[in-house]
A and B are shown apart, each in its own frame.
Chain A
């Protein structure tokens, strides 16, 4: 073999082997996960055990709504609400129904939020957990209705309300109806607040647009996960209007904390204990204040 041949790039096709359908099925998909931030590779089951937080760089992976519930709530205490609500297509948008159905299939949820009542270390709360895997967590009629009903449930039971936001904002395909969901959840939260009840908003990646500009920003306590993207307008839109380079940490949880918009940034694995403390400090003794 000549020297030249030695250094010659071998054709990829020569070496490529196609796994048979059978051998493909033998290897379970996603046994290992590579961190998108630091490229650290970890066994997926270890990642799940660590609350989907990279042990190397503390990157918080996106959580599904169910994972969030499992991570935070006392085992077996969570009971979901309104899983039967179904999205319609009020503006007759082409392929909207199909897209919603496909995401429902993929996530096992009826819409982009999971709501219910459960216990966190013994404290009963109502909760809405948005899931960014479902249409980017965008808010249409069903998302607005489910969160509103959960808030009303909290008001009725006289218990705290928790909302974990993960949303790109309003659901474009439902037009102005989706905008009005911001107001719908807000009127319900006002009634809950009026009863002297606690509302904790927890912003996770991403909390933007109409969700950021409504219920996510008005908790009695506003928390966020580290590095969560939180903002009103999109970064590109702002760059186009201001024509200047935005700081690296623009619209991150830490940026918001520095600008007085958050009470605290809480690491996901500290969240159960932090939540427990807050809830215990707000526990009611005696009659419910009306």
Chain B
């Protein structure tokens, strides 16, 4: 049984009640089947109700669910012949970002993504999916490699942010992110970025200067975490729930602001309920995106990316 999130509690309670009744009928000689059917119908209704009216903070919880599928989970389900490539050829190999080549429905592609861990041990190894500069430089190296061999690039965004540490600063965290933004702008191949969990600030954007940006329904993309926003704006990090609403960080919010292209629907209750089914949804979006972008020339791809980011901003003249 996966971790229960606060907003899911009514569902869990009802499910427990049904289980209780079922156990009771099994042991005792009482027929409660009609009640059970009733309750099961109510459960379906309740689930639809709750999952279809999720508040921003509920989505943040789903996006952060410890069992939420990671980049690697999608790589194994979406691509064939994946080979992981390591290192930035300069300092080291940052395991908070993975990348490599594979085929997607017969087409060679390059995949790059933030990689979280699912348990403490793996999270330590992956630095909780928070990259150092060498992670971004590895990503850029693989993008340039993809460009050379005319492979489309698919990025999975899933990070709380670039790592705020001493070594990261010494090795130029700012420059590593900044360089990716500029270089991605000029890539001659299609770039598709999909936010699969948390899209945290510059550390996310460094894999996000794409032709198409898609977001899983319950993922978030923001300039700062809700906790960080609350503590800066209201000097109180416990107001994170309100900040999550005010900052407009959910997929529907970003779609409305015209920043992303598609919202990829999630399986009921969130991607962690069924990674296989979730991958099918991602697959169809990816197929569509690759087809559209495949029709553009290198110059058109660069112009398309230029116009996409050029138009973001709200002001009056």
Q: Which residues of A contact B (CB under 8 A)?
A: 84-88, 90-91, 93, 141-142, 144-145, 148, 170, 172-184, 186-191, 193-194, 209-210, 212-218, 230-234, 237-238, 241-242, 244, 246, 250-251, 259-261
Contact = CB atoms under 8 A, between A and B. Distances in A.
A172 B306 contact: no
A217 B175 contact: yes
A143 B186 CA distance: 23
Contacts of A214: 177-178, 181, 202
Contacts of B169: 231-233, 238, 250-251
A172 B243 CA distance: 11
A249 to B, nearest CB: 12
Contact of A215 (B172, B173, B178, B257): B178
Contacts of A142: 313, 315
B72 interface: no
B27 interface: no
A141 B315 contact: yes
A194 B185 CA distance: 11
Nearest to B206: A213
Interface of B: 162-166, 168-175, 177-179, 181-183, 185-186, 201-202, 205, 208-209, 221-224, 229, 232-233, 246-249, 254, 257, 259, 305-306, 309-310, 312-317
24 contacts: A93-B246, A170-B223, A172-B232, A175-B247, A176-B248, A176-B249, A177-B259, A177-B314, A178-B223, A179-B205, A184-B309, A184-B312, A186-B185, A193-B182, A213-B162, A213-B173, A213-B177, A217-B172, A218-B178, A230-B174, A232-B168, A232-B174, A233-B164, A246-B166
B223 A184 contact: no
Contact of B173 (A144, A216, A233): A233
Contact of A187 (B165, B201, B208, B306): B306
Contacts of B259: 176-177, 180
Given A232-B177, A241-B164, A261 B172 contact: yes
B208 A87 contact: no
A88 B315 contact: yes
A33 B306 CA distance: 47
Contacts of B221: 176
A218 B313 contact: no
B193 to A, nearest CB: 11
A183 B208 contact: yes
A157 to B, nearest CB: 19
A145 B316 CA distance: 11
B313 A144 contact: yes
A163 B288 CA distance: 40
Contact of A216 (B164, B174, B208, B229): B174
A238 B165 contact: yes
Contacts of B168: 232-233
B205 A183 contact: yes
Contact of B178 (A84, A87, A176, A213): A213
A88 B208 CA distance: 25
